[in-house]
Each structure stands twice: as C-alpha cells, then as structure tokens.
C-alpha cells in the first residue's frame, strides 16, 4: 500500500477537515488514539504516523507551517509490540524453494544465503555478482511507486557488498545457464525519472521485471501452501533474511558484520532484533575459563617469576 493510500484511508478522515496551519499536537494525539481504537496493528500505526510526520516535515521545509506537530514532545509514536522472531529451519527453506516455480528458486538462495531483501533480489543484475572474488554487490532494488516499478538504491539509500557462499554461487550459475539474464529498463528512483537498464537475473514469464504483487500472489503464497507453511506477514519472503541472520549468529558472526550484510544503518537495531538468537554465552564462558586454567593451578613449589612476585 502506498503512502498516498495510507494517508487517504487513515489520516484524512480524522484530520482532513483542518487546515495545515491549524493542526496542533492535541489533534495528533487524538488521531493516534483513534488509530489505536481502530484495531490496526502497532507496526502499521507506526508506518501511518511516519508517513504523516514526513509530510508535515516537508510542509515545514516549504514554510507552509512553522512547526511539525508530530514532533512535539507530547506526541509519542505508537509503540511496537515486542515480538521475538522465530526463524525458519533449513527444512522449511528447502521445502518452499522446491515449491516455487523453477525460474524463481534461486531467489531463495540469494535471500537466505546473502540476506537480500525481496526488491534487491528482483533488481540484482549479472554484473553485480563477482564469482571470482566471491561477493555480491547490492546496488539497486525494484520498488513500486504508485503501482509502477522503478529501479532505486537499496533501502536506506546505501549500496553494500556481501559474501557470496559457494552454494549460492552454484545455484546462480545453474540459474543463469537455464534463464540467461536480459536487460530490463525501468525509470530511476521516480516514475518520471531517467530510464536505466540492467541485465537482471530474474524476470517473469513475460520477460519483464518481477512485480512483487504478482510474485507474492502467484508464486510465493502458493509455494507456502505446497510446503504446508501458513500464509501471513511473518512468512513473507523477508523470513529468509531472518533465516540468514540466525545461521550467521549461530556460527558466531558478530552483530556488526551481520548489520553490514543486512544493510542496517544501526547495529543496535540488529542487536535488538536478533539478540535472542545469539548463542548462549555460558558455554563460551566455561570454555574460556578452562583454556585460561588448562595448565592447572599454580603451586608454591619452585621459584616464582618476577611477574608473579
């Protein structure tokens, strides 16, 4: 759903009768209470609030209003319900992969093996994969603006480079052999932006860039059904990024590295999201102490070194 649609459905019915310069923090607080009473999820309430906040911030920049009431100290963004991510297991990942149409199966390898977002997978070009150095350069995504597809930078406006595991490389090589990449041309960043072409790895059956709505409806959700995985937001393609995070953390990878690979701006966000997946420190503590004392306790027999004195 677009920003325009969210504002039209959830903000204008409550605030649309007021002029911009008449909006006060009390009106925003009352509106937020109505959103909460309307049964919307806290996460969705936060998205709507963020959309309105951005619009009013732009109005301040354009000097249409002196202050943004959403940024008043008395206005609090809706709080997220604490949710512990339960990552998919390997068997579920492979089952969903097998259930997808063959032309889309290597998407699972990229999302689950390189931590890529759905739009980043759709926008990945053959030139972005360095099989020699063993890395993937994530430099674009396919996103929807007002229902139209465009190329854009990855979320947050930042490109990144992630390791390419050999298993993922083999899957991509097989995919490229069966479905040779071909150039797709989309506008850059905005619907009226300059045209940009990229030889993307994944196209739909008509040879066009993959549209997330069509992919989710015709490929992803039927694959979940075949694999006996419940439909729903928690089992969207984003679940493969959580799988990737769980695998890396279980192997002892650092939060800082994981944050960089996932494209998070703040390692603290990565830590808050995945801290419950980190292996217990108790075993590491025992092993560290055992190594420190592996020669056994010192005795008073024999001369001591200067450091011991």
Residues 100 and 171 in one domain: yes
The CATH number for 11's domain is 1.10.150.130
The pLDDT of residue 146 is 85
Domain-embedded: residue 298: no
Domain boundary among 38, 71, 104: 71
The structural domain count of the chain equals 2
The β-bridge partners of 162 are 136
Residues 157 and 219 in one domain: yes
Range of the domain at 19: 3-71
Q: What is the mean pLDDT of residues 207-225?
A: 97
Statement: residue 253 has pLDDT above 50? yes
The pLDDT of residue 126 is 98
Please give the helix or strand (H or E) that residue 184 lies within, else none.
Answer: strand 182-188
Q: What token pair was written down for 175?
A: 């995919």
Which range (50-64, 78-92, 154-168) has the least confidence?
78-92
Residues 160 and 44 in one domain: no
What residues have CB less than 8 Å from 245, skipping those under 6 apart?
A: 87, 115, 258, 262, 270, 273, 274, 277
Residue 276 and residue 279: Cα distance in Å, rounded? 8
Domain-embedded: residue 78: no
Domain-embedded: residue 256: yes
The pLDDT of residue 88 is 96
pLDDT band for position 304 (50/70/90)?
Answer: very low
User: 141 φ, ψ to 5°?
Assistant: -140, 165
Domain-embedded: residue 299: no
The CATH number for 196's domain is 1.10.443.10
Which range (122-136, 258-272, 287-301) has the least confidence?
287-301
Q: What is the mean pLDDT of residues 281-305?
A: 62
Q: Please state, as a whole number, how many other Cβ atoms lie within 10 Å of the Cβ of residue 199.
A: 15
Residue 118 and residue 297: Cα distance in Å, rounded? 55
pTM for the full predicted model: 0.72
- Give the model confidence (pLDDT) of 18-67 as tens digits: 999 999 999 999 999 999 888 788 888 999 999 999 999 999 999 999 99
Measured over the CA atoms of residue 264, residue 265, residue 269 and residue 275, the dihedral's sign is positive
The pLDDT of residue 33 is 94
pLDDT band for position 309 (50/70/90)?
Answer: very low
The pLDDT of residue 79 is 86
Q: What is the mean pLDDT of residues 119-130?
A: 98
Residues 56 and 108 in one domain: no
Measured torsion, CA atoms of residues 53, 54, 60, 65, in degrees rounded to the nearest 10: -50
């Amino acid at each position: 759903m677009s920003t325009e649609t969210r504002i039209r459905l959830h903000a204008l019915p409550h605030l649309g009768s007021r002029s911009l310069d008449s909006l006060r923090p009390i009106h925003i607080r009352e509106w937020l209470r109505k959103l909460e009473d309307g049964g919307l999820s806290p996460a969705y309430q936060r998205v709507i609030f963020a959309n309105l906040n951005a619009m009013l911030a732009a109005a301040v920049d354009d000097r249409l209003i002196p202050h943004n009431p959403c940024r008043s100290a008395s206005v609090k963004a809706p709080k997220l319900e604490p949710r512990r991510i339960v990552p998919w297991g390997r068997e579920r990942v492979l089952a969903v992969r097998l259930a997808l149409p063959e032309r889309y199966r290597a998407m699972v390898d990229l999302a689950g093996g390189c931590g890529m977002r759905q739009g980043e997978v759709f926008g990945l070009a053959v030139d972005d994969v360095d099989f020699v150095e063993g890395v993937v350069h994530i430099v674009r995504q396919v996103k929807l603006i007002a229902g139209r597809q465009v190329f854009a930078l990855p979320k947050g406006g930042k490109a990144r480079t992630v390791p390419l595991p050999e298993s993922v490389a083999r899957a991509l090589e097989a995919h490229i052999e069966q479905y040779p990449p071909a150039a797709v041309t989309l506008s850059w960043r905005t619907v009226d932006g300059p045209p940009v072409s990229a030889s993307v790895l994944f196209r739909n059956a008509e040879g066009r860039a993959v549209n997330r709505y069509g992919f989710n409806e015709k490929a992803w959700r039927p694959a979940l059904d075949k694999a006996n995985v419940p439909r729903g937001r928690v089992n969207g393609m984003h679940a493969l990024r959580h799988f990737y995070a769980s695998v890396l953390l279980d192997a002892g990878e650092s939060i800082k590295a994981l944050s960089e690979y996932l494209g998070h701006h703040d390692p603290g966000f990565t830590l808050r999201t995945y801290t419950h997946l980190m292996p217990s420190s108790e075993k590491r503590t025992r092993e560290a102490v055992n190594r420190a004392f592996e020669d056994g306790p010192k005795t008073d027999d024999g001369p001591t070194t200067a450091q011991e004195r």
